Amino acid sequence: MLSVAVGWDLYLQTRSPIVLGNVGFAQVTPFLLFALFAGHYADVHDRRRILTYMQIVFVIASVLLSYGSRSVWLIYACLFLVATARTFQGPARSALLPNSVPPDLLRNAITWNSSANEIANVTGPALAGFLLAFSSSRSVYAIQGLCALGTFLCYYMLGARQVKAPAGAPAPTLRSLLDGVIFVWREKLVLSAMSLDLLAVLFGGATTLLPIYAVEILNTDARGLGWLRAAPSVGAVSMALLTAHKLRIERAGVVLLSSVAAFGVATMIFGASRSFWLSLAMLVLVGAFDNVSVVLRHSLIQSETPDAIRGRVLAVNNIFISCSNQLGAVESGWAAAWLGTVPSVVAGGFATVAVVVAFALGFRQLRQCRH
């Protein structure tokens, strides 16, 4: 909901793809500054408390957006706060999952966890589009704040028995902060999987430009924008439900590479489309193929990482994800300003396919991975 309302407000105020793209700077900066610290704290402190305390920041940001001026700089500041909270929440939340299910059910649990997130990503943009069409962005921020408060209560009620803080809480050292980086660098399979996602989403992400597509190319309104933002999550949920009970995927490396390539092809078709329904269908496929790569990549990382440094490794993964998503937004905005919206999206999809070809040829270990 927040992402749709913010994009809509910024576009109506400025009509600038660069302003939309620079949202990525506000959101990626906290990850680059704090991610390694967040991973360390997730490994040495009570992960439930980290989730609970950081959720308060979401509530504060919602209040500021609901009752503030909603200027460009206030929106950027609130996005910075939210991204900071996500930086610390991400490793703690992800590191809880392997401690909650038996190892043989981990991939299945990751799939269901991804499904729950994607269901929210379907309903959130659709509801935000409806509210923007019939009310205002203020109502979107208010309801998003209530959702953030509800999430705070869920984290608070998790129960301390599920998350026990390790004995002692040593201060972070340079070595402890870099343990996750060192592990990822040594494990070439993990490194190649993370890097593939980073480069693919960096070039292939088109969601930042959806307000421009909705208004100028597909001739729709705020409700149409809501459905366009929800479409990738519809595809992701559908794919997750199809694969949730398939406990083993043979030749996982080939499936991972193929899904990312298909993601790039669907992005190219979406970029060139002038039909709302064709664009919607391509975004559904984008979400479906992305879900396959997300589940396989996260399963690989979780299963290959020792629990003692899982938070730090997942923090590194979050840096990769943040850089791909947020710097991808910056790249999309600036490329659209220089090349035009349609050429930038089509070129980004083509670059994604080229990245897959390069990784398939250059990383034999990834190509031959069986999981």
Domains contained in the chain, CATH given:
2-160+176-367 (1.20.1250.20)
Alpha-carbon distance of 34 to 29, in angstroms, equals 9
Q: What DSSP state is assigned to residue 215?
A: I
- By the 8 A CB rule, do 336 and 344 touch? yes
The CA-atom distances, in angstroms, between 62 and each of 39, 74, 142, 237, 265 are 26, 11, 7, 27, 36
Structure confidence at residue 161 (pLDDT): 41
Estimate the crossing angle of helix 47-67 against helix 72-96, to 10 degrees.
Answer: 160
Q: What is the token pair recorded at 53?
A: 């305390």
Averaged over successive runs of 10 residues, the pLDDT of the chain (371 residues) comes to 86 81 79 82 83 93 86 90 90 77 76 74 77 85 92 79 48 68 81 81 75 84 81 81 66 85 91 90 90 79 74 76 68 77 87 89 78 60
Structure confidence at residue 248 (pLDDT): 64
Alpha-carbon distance of 113 to 343, in angstroms, equals 35
Alpha-carbon distance of 240 to 48, in angstroms, equals 26
CA 286 to chain centre: 14
- By the 8 A CB rule, do 305 and 191 touch? no
Alpha-carbon distance of 302 to 308, in angstroms, equals 12
Phi, psi of 167 (to 5 degrees): -65, 125
Alpha-carbon distance of 273 to 265, in angstroms, equals 12
Q: What is the DSSP string of 153-189?
A: HHHHTS-GGG--PPSS-PPP-HHHHHHHHHHHHH-HH
Q: Is 318 exposed, middle or buried (0-12, 13-18, 19+ CB in 10 A)?
A: buried
Structure confidence at residue 168 (pLDDT): 52
Structure confidence at residue 64 (pLDDT): 92
The CA-atom distances, in angstroms, between 362 and each of 131, 188, 295, 359 are 48, 12, 23, 5
Cβ neighbours of residue 182 closer than 8 Å, sequence gap 6 or more: none
Q: What torsion, rounded to 10 degrees, do the Cα atoms 320, 321, 325, 326 define?
A: -60
Phi-psi domain of 159 (left: phi exceeds 0; alpha: psi -120 through 50; beta: other): left
